[in-house]
Amino acid sequence: MYTVHIDKECSCFKKSEYENNKTFENQKDAYNYATLVAEFMTEEFCGQHIFTAHRGEESSFIVASKINVDFVTGTTAHITCDTGCGSTDNWSLEKGTTKKS
C-alpha cells in the first residue's frame, strides 16, 4: 500500500473534496494522485500557498506547502545582484527595472 499525506491541512484543504492519508494499491497511482492534487490545490485554492509533491519515506508521498510570496500584499519575488556589491554591470533581475548608467 502507498499513502499520499498532505503535510499541512490549510483551511482551503479542509473545505475541499480532497482527503488526507489516501491509500493506493500501487506506486504509480499514488504518485499520479499526489502530483495532480498538488497542482490542483495550487491552482484552485486561495493562492496563499504553493503545493508540491515529493516522495516520502518508504511507501509514501508528501504534498507539502509553502507561502506564496506573490500573495503577500506589497511584496514581489525578485533577485538583486547589483545593489551594494560594487557591480558595474548595467542590468538587474528585479522585475520591471533597468539600471541606468
Q: What is the pLDDT of residues 21-68, one digit of tens each?
A: 999 999 999 999 999 999 999 999 988 899 999 999 899 999 999 988
Predicted pLDDT of residue 23? 97
Q: How high is the mean pLDDT of the chain?
A: 80
Is the entire prediction scored with pTM above 0.75?
no
The SS3 assignment for 100 reads coil
**Beta bridge partners of residue 6, listed in sequence order:** 63
Q: Which residue has the higher pLDDT, 80 or 57?
A: 57
- How do strand 22-24 and strand 60-67 relate by DSSP bridges? unpaired
pLDDT of 82 reads: 47
Element (H, E) at 14: helix 11-15
| Residue 34: closest CA among 15, 20, 47 | 20
pLDDT at 59: 95
Task: Count Cα atoms within 13 angstroms, Cβ side, for 68.
Answer: 14
Domain borders along the chain are 2-68
